[in-house]
Structure 1
């Protein structure tokens, strides 16, 4: 998996703020819905929040990877948001989440879904990458940093 196959510059936000996990998932659903049909955002939010109710998607070190499945989606897509102030995401390490990569896959993509999650977890486990993402000056710089990554 190469992260470039999931991302589009329009689905990256550099300075988001949210007072709750729910608001974060709404913002990520809005980003993921860019380029999809205009009524997809509520369905995307429902998928992300349904998965989050099963347990936190925070993976530690200030990173969360909320994910979900949507019927009719042709291929996996991702969105990236940076939350400079951090937010409580019920992470096991209790660190506030500052980096959120949301993943959406077609409803029938079980194996691909797991492979993508594993690849993303590997990418975001790198302290040097997390530091560069936190210091990036713009969405364009975030996009370029993410494009340069491979698991």
Structure 2
């Protein structure tokens, strides 16, 4: 499964104000919960925080891919946010993060989860794509950029 298959415009947000790792994760969970419908933002946050305890999902170059599991649904959800200012996210390269691609998948779809994480990492490893993402000034522009990416 590719990011383009599960990302919606409702789950894409450009230039989000966030001052900390916890605040950006809370924002991601609010957006994801409204997309899923029956998910509790607190449960989603717990899922992300549990994953972060194993090691930061900040993969470097100002990018983080926080991810977690969903219960009581078979729908995968992706959330893409950029922040107004880069924030400390304990990334592996010690750089602050300004691009967040978050993924929530049903508990029983582990293989798809790994494939989707791999496709996200590949998409955002392209320097030109990163430059374009950082230039986006509105949600629609950011969403369209990802949808058009190969």
Calculate the TM-score normalised by the size of structure 1. Answer: 0.94
Aligned residues of 1:29 and 1:45 also touching (Cα < 8 A): yes
Question: In the alignment, what sits opposite 1:36?
Answer: 36
Aligned residues: 150
Superposed structure 1 runs of 4+ greater than 6 Å apart: none
Q: Give the superposition deviation at 1:84.
A: 2.7
Per-residue displacement from partner, 1:31-90 (whole Å, max 9, x unpaired)? 111222255211111111111111100111000000000112212210111013100010
Could you list the runs of 5+ residues in structure 2 that have no partner in the other structure?
A: none
Q: Which has the larger strand fraction?
A: 2
Alignment of 1:84-123 (within 5 A): 84-123=84-123
TM-score, normalised via structure 2 length: 0.94
Segments of 5+ residues of structure 1 without an aligned counterpart are: none
Q: Provide the residue aligned with 2:60 in structure 1.
A: 60
